[in-house]
A and B are shown apart, each in its own frame.
Chain A
Amino acid sequence: FPVTPEAEDERKTLELVESYLQNFYDLQRDHQPHLRSKGENHLAAKLKKMQEFFGLEVTGKPDPDTLEMMKKPRCGVPDVGNYV
């Protein structure tokens, strides 16, 4: 079946969130599918860290304010961890 627009949007949002957290909040890239549920907790934990850093409401969910912040042009150096 063609992907519904909502599902497509959701997939893009998840991609944006994962890539942002991988780039700037040290979210590991290689999640095993069977650890899906663990992966989601892991992602929510990193998302909370990002929301905390930017003084956003710490929801662990990609709410509009969080997505807006993720879309802002920025420096490529991570906000946490080393960059060597």
Chain B
Amino acid sequence: FTTGNPKWKRNQLTYRILNYTPKMTKDDVDQAIQKALSVWANVTPLTFQKVEDKDADIVISFAYRDHQDNSPFDGPNGQLAHAFQPGEGIGGDVHLDEEEEWTKDGRGYNLFIVLAHELGHSLGLSHSNDPGALMYPTYSYTAPSEFLLPQDDIDGIQAIYGQSNTAVQPTGPITPRACDPNLTFDAITTLRGEIIFFKGRYMLRKHPARTETELNFISLFWPKLPSGIQAAYENVERDEVLLFKEDKYWVLRGYDIAPGYPKPIYRLGFPKTVRRVNAAYSDEATGKTYFFVADRYWRYDEKKRSMDHGYPRKIVSDFGKIGRVDAVFIKDGYVYFFHGTTQFQFDPRAKQVVGQMKSISWFNC
């Protein structure tokens, strides 16, 4: 919250667009502004009405360097925009640095994302130190079509203006914390010696030589990848990682998404009855890759690049009672299966589970 808890005294607010940037079409700017306003309108009783040619509570403008508000902009990058807390005159206004590369996608700086953040200030929010929050100070891209207002921001704005009038209260994504004992994963893979844990739009990155775990948005590294990756495995020999979501997969070559992806999973030999892959790992020693789907699994031969005959088989027949597999990876000759907050260590030579840990055992909690 902002010191002094400034807030608008009424819920029906007005906004005015003072000028436009030449870097985007007028329509795209209008759409970005409307979408940014709806982010907050959807979770509060607030409404925003556009006015022209007269003063408004929130005046949105693009400004250059020193623009007479005692807070000059600094040219490309650095400070992207600022906004003022609720109040008369400049209060509530949003200033965007004209020298930034404003866009409606992942290039440069996405106008919608920055505006949604600044409008949080216009309504009385200050910065959050939750790295996944919209009100976190630094810029990070999320595809506008995938954007969901995080729970941290919903909690903040509803503490000021109350809940929305809708019957069902909206909720938002919660930022994973490495040492949360309830943490579960969507997918896990090794990547050139590191271990990458996927969760929603985040990835937790663990390097064996570093004690702390790095939390990043998936889009920070791979803007073309969607959130909610469901399975992933590394083919060490080919220095590739395959990532799966629904009936598609992407290939990461080194650190870049290979061109021409995503492709349908059926290219790998899955029958059309398979709609998604729950988890996967590839055993470099045998050149065999294992795909887990519900209570069954397929085995794929990386050399022949086709599914082995006699599959699918029941997971329980060959891996024991590990239940449904949320995520799996192989490291130093052992296979680690994740089912909820439980992790099973499986020895493929002995063909049995040899250990059971918490899902967060890799994070030095």
Q: Which of A's residues lie within 8 Å of B, judged by CB?
A: 23-24, 53-55, 69, 72-77, 79, 81-84
Give residues of chain B (1-54) contacting chain A, Cβ–Cβ below 8 Å: 2-4
Known contacts A72-B138, A82-B2; is A23 also within 8 Å of B121 by CB? no
A sample of 23 cross-chain residue pairs with beta-carbon separation below 8 angstroms, ordered by A number, consists of A53-B129, A55-B129, A73-B77, A73-B80, A73-B109, A73-B138, A73-B139, A74-B80, A75-B82, A75-B137, A75-B138, A76-B73, A76-B82, A76-B97, A77-B82, A77-B83, A77-B118, A82-B3, A82-B4, A83-B2, A83-B82, A83-B85, A84-B85
> 1/0 contact trace for B63-83 toward A, CB 8 Å?
000000001010001111111
Tell me the interface secondary structure of chain A in the complex: loop
Return chain A residues, CB-CB under 8 Å to B109. 73
CB distance from B35 to the nearest CB of A (A): 18
A22 to chain B, nearest CB (A): 12
A55: chain B residues at CB < 8 Å are: 129, 131
Q: How large is the interface on B (under 10, 10 to 19, 20 to 34, 35 or more residues)?
A: 20 to 34
Complex contact B80–A75 (CB within 8 A):
yes
A-B pairs with lowest CB-CB distance, top 8: A76-B82, A76-B79, A72-B138, A74-B138, A73-B139, A74-B137, A79-B127, A73-B77
Q: Report B90-117 residues with CB < 8 Å from chain A CB.
A: 91, 97, 109, 114, 117
Q: Is B84 an interface position by the 8 A CB rule?
A: yes
CB distance from A51 to the nearest CB of B (A): 11
B78's closest neighbor in chain A, by CB? A73
B189 at the interface (CB under 8 A from A): no
A53 to B135, CA, bound (A): 13
Which residues from B are CB-within-8-Å of A69? Answer: 138
Complex Cα distance, B320 from A10, in Å, reads 59
Task: List the B side residues contacting A83 at CB < 8 Å.
Answer: 2, 82, 84-85, 121
- Beta-carbon contact of A75 and B127 below 8 Å: yes
A62 to chain B, nearest CB (A): 17
Residues of B within 8 A of A84 (CB): 84-85, 87, 91
B87 with A75: CB separation less than 8 A:
no
Q: Across the interface, which residues of B come within 8 angstroms of A77, CB to CB?
A: 82-83, 118, 121, 126-127, 137
The answer to whether A76 and B3 have CB atoms under 8 Å apart is no
Q: How many angstroms from the CA of A8 to the CA of B77 in the assembled complex?
A: 23
Closest to B97 in A: A76
**How long is the Cα–Cα vector from A45 to B144 in the complex, in angstroms?**
38
Q: Are A79 and B3 in contact (CB under 8 A)?
A: no
Instruction: Choose among A23, A79, A81 the residue that contacts B79 (Cβ–Cβ < 8 A).
Output: A23
**Contact partners of A76 in chain B: CB under 8 A:** 71, 73, 79-82, 97
- What is the CB-to-nearest-CB distance from B22 to chain A, in angstroms, rounded to a whole number? 20
Closest to A20 in B: B78
Q: Knowing A76-B79, A82-B3, A83-B121 are in contact, say whether A24-B129 is a contact too (CB < 8 A).
A: no
- Nearest-neighbour CB distance to chain B for A47, whole angstroms, equals 16
Q: How distant is B235 from chain A, measured CB to nearest CB, in Å?
A: 31
B121-161 toward A: CB 8 Å interface, digit per residue (1/0)? 10000110101000001110000000000000000000000
Q: Which residues of A contact B97 (CB under 8 A)?
A: 76
Docked CA distance A69–B140 (Å): 12
Q: Which A residues lie within 8 Å of B82 (CB)?
A: 75-77, 83
- Nearest to A57 among chain B residues (CB) is B212
Shortest Cβ distance from residue A74 to the other chain B in the assembled complex, whole angstroms: 4
Residue of B with least CB distance to A23:
B79
